[in-house]
Amino acid sequence: MTVKRLLIGGSLLFCALLVWGFLTFFERYTEERDRGWGPEARRNRFLAAEQYLAAVGLEPRRAENLSVVNGLSADATLFIASSSLVYNPQRVAELLDWVQSGGHAIVVARTEGFDVEEQRSEARDWLLEALNVSIMQGHEEYDFAQPLQQLLGEDAELGPQQSPGEALREYNRRIGKDDSTQKEAQAEIAREKPRNPEVEPQDLVSLTSDSGVEFQLHFNASHLLYHPGLDDNTVADAPVFWARVWRDDEAVPFMQFERGSGVITLLTDSEIWHSQRIGHFDHAYFLQLLAGNGEFVFLTRPRFESLSYLARKYAAEGFFAGALALLGWLLLRARRFGPLQPAPEAKRRSLLEHISACGHYYWQQDHCEQLLRGQRAELLRRLSATDADPGSRHKLAERLSAATGLSEHDIIASLWGIPAASEESFTEHMRTLQRIEAVL
């Protein structure tokens, strides 16, 4: 009993020491690691813009068809990701009518299919034609692609003279360090890494808001917009505001038109509001200035999910539905009432069996006498002996006996005798009548 108490006391003391050591030396800390973009950010390029607008008090939402303009209020803002979504004159008229009532439309001009040599687009753009705007070749195309940053997070950024392979090896080297060294490296990277990319000052567009705040924008000027009103103030329906990237540019990256009580903002670069670029310079502030006081609708191209994504998304529902279908099939196959019936024969019976079955059926239904009488009447008609007397019958029986080899008694019994009362006599009479018919 004493040994047992000592063991229990020692165990309790050991547990108490473990708890005291854990509470004394355990230190809780949190660490935030950037794992790159999530699935929603990869599917929606304007996710950061939506979250920013929601943070400043607006009501962003998404749409996939221009028919949404029929239900928008006059103080709403409609962002159209491509002017190709305004695909016919009727849609152009609906959009312009809504703008004239006070709406604000932000439209990105379609640049896909633009022929650099001929300075024209392969497809017709109804909205640009209505605004008398054309697409022109701009400066050398900028490179905004940062695939490693989207895949591995904010730490994976290419250096000035660094290839993607070198950047990936540098990223793996950093995450392989111990915790203290990794924290110091992350702090150093955060201090050295600027918010904006390195851009020549002449490539920036500097604007001033109505409140006197100066802000800068960085457009992709590979394609620019041109309107005759940029060079001639007397042109009707000219843009009321625009900005050039370089002073000697003939075209501009964006321009604004007034139509009635509303405004149309036309630009060629929508990537300034993509998730990877909205944080650069003052792009987010520019989007806030363009937004009205009502809801903000993003009209983008319809996106259809891949089959593999839908299979992963609805795997649980598909498995549950398949299990229910399998259970229903098993219940259906297992249901049975009464004794099990033998399987029917797969073979079809022969012609002789079929004739025999038909004969038995007619015999049971008393149809054989009718068949025999019909056969007799047909033969007597052909022999012209329907109303023959006994003498004529005897002479006819002699002739038929000589021709068929049958006895006169059998011939007279078959033609004028009593109908058969049994199966054997019926068969004999029918065979005799058939032999007589054969010699006629």
pLDDT tens per residue across span 77-131: 999 988 888 888 898 999 999 999 989 999 998 887 655 444 455 678 888 888 9
In a domain, 335, yes or no: no
Q: Which domain holds residue 383?
A: 351-439
User: Final residue of a domain: which of 248, 276, 307?
Assistant: 307
Spatial distance between the Cα atoms of 105 and 72, rounded to a whole number of angstroms: 11
In a domain, 2, yes or no: no
In a domain, 17, yes or no: no
Q: Is the pLDDT of residue 315 over 50?
A: yes
In a domain, 40, yes or no: no
Interval 278-308: pLDDT, tens: 989 999 999 988 887 888 999 887 676 778 8
| Total domains in the fold of the chain | 2
Q: Is the pLDDT of residue 191 over 60?
A: no
Query: Could you tell me if 301 and 373 lie in one domain?
Result: no
Spatial distance between the Cα atoms of 257 and 270, rounded to a whole number of angstroms: 18
Query: Could you tell me if 293 and 357 lie in one domain?
Result: no
Query: Could you tell me if 275 and 389 lie in one domain?
Result: no
Spatial distance between the Cα atoms of 224 and 92, rounded to a whole number of angstroms: 21
The pTM score is 0.56
Q: Which residue has the tokens 């003498």?
A: 391
pLDDT of residue 263: 92
In a domain, 165, yes or no: no
Query: Could you tell me if 221 and 275 lie in one domain?
Result: yes
Q: Give me the CATH number covering residue 130.
A: 3.40.50
Query: Which of 1-10, 66-75, 100-109, 294-303 has the lowest average pLDDT?
Result: 1-10
Burial 160-170 (b: 16+ CB within 10 A, else e): eeeeeeebeee
Query: Could you tell me if 358 and 428 lie in one domain?
Result: yes
- For 377, the token pair is 């009447």
User: Final residue of a domain: which of 292, 307, 322?
Assistant: 307
Query: Could you tell me if 237 and 125 lie in one domain?
Result: yes
In a domain, 261, yes or no: yes
- For 263, the token pair is 């405004």
User: Final residue of a domain: which of 287, 307, 327?
Assistant: 307
The dihedral sign for the CA sequence 264, 241, 239, 219: negative
In a domain, 80, yes or no: yes
pLDDT of residue 158: 46
Query: Could you tell me if 124 and 57 lie in one domain?
Result: yes
